[in-house]
Amino acid sequence: MDLVAIEYREAVLHSRSIAILGKSGIFKSNLGIYATSIWDETLYKAWGGIVNSLIPNLDIVEDGLKDLQRVTDGEEIVLFEQNTFLTVTRVGSDVGNDNPNHDRYERLSNIIKTFKNSLSVYADSNSSHQFDSFVVKTRVFNLIINRLTYNAYVLFVFPPGEAELQCAKLNILAAKDEFAHIESVAEGIDDGLKMARGKSTYG
């Protein structure tokens, strides 16, 4: 939308959306249309929506995150894809859901990706510049960003306090095997779909 004057963007988006939906046929009900710019976080929102739609067992992942949120009294849990740090999904308590900053996931994706890339300054050429965990402690809340599986990081916001922090760390550690199993099942589903498509195409 950067090439469209600001006063015309809403009208252009509306007309283009109508045209796209008119050509989408049976896929219309599941179609997402995004107005993006290279100057803000809208690209992260659009790509995050695409990543979200590609997860074959997202409901199981979200159920696992909800269980983790309940046992730790977490305010919000956000799951990120580990390479791009695009938002896969999130769950939250009433407190987390009342957060007025609705673009926070896209901002977080941008900030964490920048931080991850900055690690290359201190890493050797053979490093993938990954980090295992990151902790922020304040008087108002605790925050952990932690690797959850081979392909995902989790951002976890919960009440302040050292006991709460250590409890959250233990619960994330305990949850890793379960989420790794969910991820492996998803990869098996994806491989099965690829094989099925191969058979239907060439069989």
What per-residue confidence (pLDDT) applies to 103? 77
Handedness of CA 3, 8, 14, 19 (dihedral sign): negative
Any idea what the Cα angle at residue 49 is, between residues 78 and 86, rounded to 5°? 45
**In which region does residue 85 sit, left (phi positive, over 0), alpha (psi from -120 to 50) or beta (all else)?**
left
Residue 196 has pLDDT above 70, yes or no: no
Which stretch, 29-33, 107-111, 137-141, 188-192, has highest mean pLDDT?
137-141
Which pLDDT band, with edges at 50, 70 and 90, does 194 fall under?
A: very low
How far apart are the C-alpha atoms of 97 and 104, rounded to whole Å? 12
Compute the average pLDDT of residues 159-169. Answer: 90
User: What is the mean predicted confidence (pLDDT) over 61-65?
Assistant: 88
pLDDT at position 54 over 80: no
CA distance 71 to 137: 20
Rounded Cα–Cα distance for residues 95 and 111 (Å): 23
- How many Å apart are CA 100 and CA 11, to the nearest integer? 27
Taking residues 18-30, what's their average pLDDT? 81
> What does the pLDDT read at residue 105?
80
